[in-house]
Amino acid sequence: MMFTLSNATRTAVSALALSFAAAAMPAVAQAQDAAAPAPAKWFKTCSKQEESDICVVQNQLVAANGQLITAVGLITVEGKVNRKLLQVTVPSARLIPPGVLMQIDDAKGTKLDYAVCLPDRCTAEIPLTDAMVASLKKGGNVVFTSINFRRAPNPIKIPLEGFTGAYDGEAMSQSQAEERQRMLQEAMQKKQEERNKAINDAQNAAKQGN
């Protein structure tokens, strides 16, 4: 995972912060709303860019067919640049003005405005505060709701189990992060192959029935 820091715009971070998961996934936004998600866990990675240290506590929710549903990252940049952001990446084909609504359990929702939209995803962000982190640590679930192009709300629930341990704990090593990504991609590929086989079997059965 790479971050490019510059003073030009704050979206320099936004465009790259959560793109690592989407890079290996098909960009079929219309199918992402209904696809069944695969289990995901919170984890932390840290890296050094120029004169800044960057740590990201993140969770990626991926559909059974390998498509990105929602990714969330709590980004802390320290050093030459100091910044804390909470970013959420959702599929493309979103209505922009509503942004993404974040709700922790039954608390009042918080709006995240979109910072950048690319052909395959949109990223919303908000400054990360200590109060927000505390609420996430105490919470049971966090729900991120975007509005798709059909003007229908698309709420995605992410369990907060394991968040505190990831946030307060040690970061994964680079090799651990790479191994995790490799295993995730292999699991997604296997599920896609199983899905394709089921479709082919159904088509063959239909042909034989005729």
Centre a 10 Å sphere on the Cβ of residue 189 and count the other Cβ atoms it contains: 12
pLDDT band at 182 (very low <50, low <70, confident <90, very high): confident
**Residue 117 confidence (pLDDT) above 60:** yes
**pTM for this prediction:** 0.74
Mean model confidence pLDDT for the chain: 80
Provide the pLDDT for residue 163: 97
Provide the pLDDT for residue 174: 67
Q: Do residues 94 and 148 make contact, with C-beta atoms less than 8 angstroms apart?
A: yes
Q: Mind listing the domains of the chain with CATH numbers?
A: 11-172 (2.60.40.1880)
**Which of 33-42, 144-153, 172-181 is the most confident on average?**
144-153
Task: Give the mean model confidence (pLDDT) for residues 85-103.
Answer: 96
Provide the pLDDT for residue 4: 38
Q: To the nearest whole percent, how much of the chain has pLDDT over 90? A: 49
Least confident of 28-32, 64-68, 150-154: 28-32
DSSP symbol at 34: T
Q: How far apart are CA 16 and CA 22, in angstroms?
A: 10
pLDDT band at 172 (very low <50, low <70, confident <90, very high): confident
